[in-house]
Copies of this chain bind each other. A is one copy, B any other.
């Protein structure tokens, strides 16, 4: 635990992102002095969750991303390929590869949109529905493990606070604007 750092000055030893906004590798925290740091804790928890989720979704083509496509397609009904890409924040070319794999696995089908023959509607198969139920279960288990150090009351408190922070973060960041896109999609339908 870098247990050898009595000379840390203030928050200088903080752990920021542990990999920038683009890296991948795990990275480990360095211990005592940094553990009071938000960025460090956030990074550790997030990566732990990401790792657990990736493990739970290992057999899904495209991993977590593939899962998101399936979940969205099931939850919101058949959607056009490009809308799906925009909503999930993935590049449209990536979406092509992703769907190639998912289709090959028999989890979705590409159907021509009767309203616009250029577009393809992504429709989940029955097999997809089944799989999602199982994945749901696994992800729930993973969540519980992550929050294992908190009792029930703390857990719900933590979830609530995190939710509020997330809501604000999401509101501030005008990223891809899935909301607007979704809205448009309704109008179009």
Contact = CB atoms under 8 A, between A and B. Distances in A.
A20 B57 CA distance: 10
Contacts of A93: none
Contact of A75 (B33, B88, B143): B33
B5 A176 contact: no
Contacts of A88: 18, 27
Contact of A5 (B12, B18, B64, B76): B76
B89 A139 contact: no
Nearest to A67: B16
Contacts of A148: 168
Nearest to A51: B21
A82 interface: no
Contacts of A106: none
Interface in A138-189: 139-140, 143, 146-150, 154, 157-159, 161-170, 172-173, 175-179, 182-183, 185-186
Interface in A1-40: 1-5, 7-31, 33, 35-36, 38-40
A78 interface: no
A64 B20 contact: yes
A59 interface: no
Nearest to A63: B20
A71 interface: yes
